[in-house]
Structure 1
Amino acid sequence: MTWSVVQDIAANTIVAVAFFCFIVVFLRNMIGLAQLLIAAWVFATRIEPSEGARELWQRYADLALPITMIAPAYNEELSIVESVKALLALEYPEHEVIVVNDGSKDDTMGRLIAAFDMYPCERTQVAQLQQTQIRQTYASRRFPNLLVVDKENGRKADAANAGLGFARTPLVCVIDADSIIEPDGLLRAAEPFMHDNGRLVAVGGAIRVANGCTVKGGSLQKIDVAKALVPRFQVVEYLRAFLTARVANAQTGTLMLISGAFGLFRRSTLVEIGGYRHDTVGEDLELVVHLHRHLREQKRDYRFAFIPDIVCWTEAPAALKGLDNQRARWQQGSLETLVRHRRMMFNPRYGRIGLLAMPHILLEDVLGPPAELLGYLVLPAAALLGLLDPMMAVAFFFVSIVFGTGLSVGTLALEEQQLRRTPSARSLIRIGWAALLENFGYRQINLWYRIQGVRRFLKKDGTWAAVPRLGFGAD
């Protein structure tokens, strides 16, 4: 093989890679645009103005199904008391709170016992779904609807399963222990179940970033935006994910993810599939995909719902250190789920889930990150070497950066028009600047973190990389 032939092969390979990267990024952004348009249409035509909390209570107080709140907690001493207070204060006729201490190494258990006057009690599990040992259950002398389960460490899925085993209500709500639901959020989530004929399996809500907000006594006193850039960038990301992607996916029947930070489920269906899987770091995605697969294979009529009016506030990583672990874990969990349920991919047996939703996860979580990151390097290099028209590199920049910025700004406009959770014009401007700046550095760093998730998946690294917490109110 001559040197010229080698050069031709190398050149053709570079051109092929460049075109592949461009096509993948173009498709991802076109899907993002379609989701934004569908979400705008849904908000304009399908979602009616929200009733106030008082009207909801008067209408549904006698119809509301009992709910068990399950809050897995691991090393949450900074925010656990505030979070539990918020759960107990939710405006709902009948709900129990089960906090599962998953073998915390800090003083999570001690703070719970002191704050809520807990004492050891006996409580039998209805279903044993966890794999680790239950040490002790505790009841509260002050709050009869509070139960704390102290168990050996088994990670979040195992903790959620332990709580699910103690639940006795028709509905269960799994929520992160470092999250706060707005007071009427539980009633809004339960409302669709009151009108349901048995088809509804789960309801998801919007997750918002609590960094910069004022939290006192377990309730959100003031909504604000963090001064630091990293939490502000995440505000934009969460808006895109929940106000466009989830709304559009729910409308098209392709909702594949109900956030682990907040989700309301029919308990019997979760027990049917054995609860959460223990052998994945992406238990929330895996659960919903598993539910789709189980119900499709049984040929049952079902649906998932998403209600953007339900807002759950969560503490996001305050710095890049911590964000790296979170994003790598999300990426690894997506890959684990895709491999485990690969038979669903492009399989007409699973309807739009197999033909549309699963391929979208493949595009977004498998092909997307490496293609975009590689494209930033390959397309300019190919243009400089004369292998591609320079306008191709310019077009890639436009599609990945300028177009991506437009989608973020469009989502922000949708939020301001429909939900208006941004407290002031000043805060809106700060988020707007974050929507512009995130594409210059932050987005590329996140792509690198996701590549690290691919590496962890290939190494079969099952360790849980924790995210440092500062506690509510810290900035």
Structure 2
Amino acid sequence: MNWSIIEFASARIVLDLAWFCLIVVLARNAVSVFQLIAAGWVFATRVKPGRSATELWQRYSDLALPVSVIAPAFNEELSIVQSVKALLALEYPHHEVIVVNDGSKDGTMATLIAAFDLEISDREQIAVLQKTAIRQTYHSRRIPNLFVIDKCNGRKADAVNAGIGFARTPLVCVIDADSIIEPDGLLRAAEPYMHDDGRLVAVGGTIRIANGCEIEGGAMRKIGVTSQWIPRFQIVEYLRAFLTARVANSSTNTLLLISGAFGMFRRSVLLEIGGYRHDTVGEDLEIIVRIHRYMREQGRSYAVQFVPDIVCWTEAPASLAGLKNQRARWQQGALETLSFHRGMIFNPRYGRIGMIGMPQLILEDVIGPPAELIGYLVVPAAILLGLLDPVIALAYLSLTVTFGTALSFGTLALEEVQLRRAPSARDLARIGSAAFFENFGFRQINLLYRCHGIRRFLKNDTAWAAVPRVGFSSAG
């Protein structure tokens, strides 16, 4: 056996892998730079200064389309009453709250019946989109705009579909039962529909981390930044995702994701496409991609928008176990969506979605995570073998650390100028420190978790990986 040939081939593979990883990281960072510049341009030229809730009410209360807020709930006995009261108290002229008890195994249903004086309803379901059986429906004797569905467990997508089937309003808002919309959130989400000619089909908003905030009665009392590092790292991630990536993608008509924690949809379109899919763990991404696909194939003019002034607060995983389940599920959901709609990729029939949006999803969720993770291994190996100049390795480190930190600080600047949800200089410093230190451990752990999601996808493992919650009252 000619060992020199084998050694040369091995060295060549290591070198080629190192350069491939460097190119992928460079491409991802180039996309991030474009998104930051595009988001800055949007904020500077398009986004008007945020109107107060009072001004929105005075301008649009007589124009607001009725909205059904659909809140799926599973084992929410301890918080369901506060959550429902908060949804009922949202500042909106005409909205109903549809709570869907998705086969809870605790006292969620009994708590709802007792707290809101529920009685059996004879309301008919207009469209049957769910796969599991409806046990019973209820309305409140005291609160006319509260409707409750009790059904067998079928996970979130099935619960939302049940709510869509019972809704009678032109707009539906899908929200997690344990999330908190700011009081004017519905008005801000509905405002684009008031100026619309029928093209607008979906609107998303900003999701913020509630860990470290003071929550009372299902409402935000005081905004804060947690002292725990894992949720604090996620604050930085969410800022980048929503104030940079979503704003930029919305401005270029390539928005593929509206968070499952909060989204407002034109109900008729959801009915046309058959509601949410039941066979994916990433239903929030899949339904937006499917809306794009359906509207393009129908040849209909449409729009999907992101409105940064809409703010919804949610609890982030505080432990590595919870983070692993969440990130693996997100990764698996992205791969499932790409598999379902692979015919759209680089297909000019689907316009910018097929030519830009879907390839970007491939870069971010198929090529990017394993390539960056492999880079941490093969780049040092290439240096030790004398195959790669240490200057190139330093460039790789700069791309993943210095460059990433600079992008995070740029996003923080947009946050401070536009939304100003960081209440103090100390809180900004806490977020800023997280933007730097996330590059040393947290980022790499996330890559491992995302690779775990790739493995789950390849094994066709559709079991739901739950994220442990500690609850808002103790989220710090």
* TM-score (structure 1 length as normaliser): 0.99
Once the two structures are superposed, the pairs formed by residues 34-433 of structure 1 within 5 Å of their partners are 34-433=34-433
**Structure 1 segments (4+ residues) deviating >3 Å:** none
1:444 maps to which residue?
Answer: 444
Q: Distance in 2 between matches of 1:422 and 1:296?
A: 40
Q: Distance in 1 between matches of 2:5 and 2:302?
A: 57
- SS across alignment from 1:26: helix
- Are 2:401 and 2:436, in contact at CA under 8 Å, matched by a contact in 1? no
Q: Distance in 1 between matches of 2:120 and 2:324?
A: 39
- SS across alignment from 1:473: helix
How far is 1:423 from its partner? 1.0
- Are 1:79 and 1:472, in contact at CA under 8 Å, matched by a contact in 2? no
- The one-letter amino acid paired with 2:395 is A
- The one-letter amino acid paired with 1:339 is S
CA deviation profile, 1:68-93 (whole Å, cap 9, x unmatched): 00011112233322221111000000
How far is 1:12 from its partner? 0.7
- Are 2:200 and 2:304, in contact at CA under 8 Å, matched by a contact in 1? yes
How far is 1:212 from its partner? 1.2
Aligned residue-pair number: 475
1:10 maps to which residue?
Answer: 10
CA deviation profile, 1:316-372 (whole Å, cap 9, x unmatched): 111112111010000000000001100000001111100000000000000010001
- SS across alignment from 1:100: strand
Q: Distance in 1 between matches of 2:114 and 2:437?
A: 44
Q: Distance in 2 between matches of 1:232 and 1:108?
A: 31
Structure 1 gap segments, 5+ residues each: none
- The one-letter amino acid paired with 1:421 is R
- Are 1:201 and 1:304, in contact at CA under 8 Å, matched by a contact in 2? yes
How far is 1:226 from its partner? 1.2
How far is 1:441 from its partner? 0.6
- Are 1:214 and 1:220, in contact at CA under 8 Å, matched by a contact in 2? yes
- The one-letter amino acid paired with 1:291 is I
- SS across alignment from 2:150: strand
How far is 1:392 from its partner? 1.4
How far is 1:384 from its partner? 1.0
Q: Which deviates the most, 114-123 or 202-211?
A: 114-123
- SS across alignment from 2:379: helix
How far is 1:119 from its partner? 2.3
Q: Distance in 2 between matches of 1:467 and 1:150?
A: 23
- The one-letter amino acid paired with 1:252 is T
- SS across alignment from 1:204: strand
Q: Distance in 2 between matches of 1:311 and 1:320?
A: 26
Q: Distance in 2 between matches of 1:424 and 1:14?
A: 48
Q: Distance in 2 between matches of 1:50 and 1:87?
A: 22
Over the aligned positions, Cα root-mean-square deviation in angstroms equals 0.9
- Are 2:223 and 2:422, in contact at CA under 8 Å, matched by a contact in 1? yes
Q: Distance in 1 between matches of 2:25 and 2:146?
A: 48
- Are 1:63 and 1:194, in contact at CA under 8 Å, matched by a contact in 2? yes
- The one-letter amino acid paired with 1:390 is P
How far is 1:142 from its partner? 2.6
Identity in percent = 70
2:457 matches 1:472:
no
- The one-letter amino acid paired with 2:118 is M
* TM-score (structure 2 length as normaliser): 0.98
- The one-letter amino acid paired with 1:22 is L
Q: Distance in 2 between matches of 1:113 and 1:467?
A: 27
- Are 1:157 and 1:278, in contact at CA under 8 Å, matched by a contact in 2? yes
- Are 1:384 and 1:390, in contact at CA under 8 Å, matched by a contact in 2? no
Q: Distance in 1 between matches of 2:230 and 2:111?
A: 30
Q: Which deviates the most, 257-266 or 431-440?
A: 431-440
Q: Which deviates the most, 178-187 or 78-87?
A: 78-87
- Are 1:78 and 1:470, in contact at CA under 8 Å, matched by a contact in 2? no
Q: Distance in 1 between matches of 2:396 and 2:136?
A: 57
- The one-letter amino acid paired with 2:296 is R
CA deviation profile, 1:356-391 (whole Å, cap 9, x unmatched): 000000000000100011101110111111011111
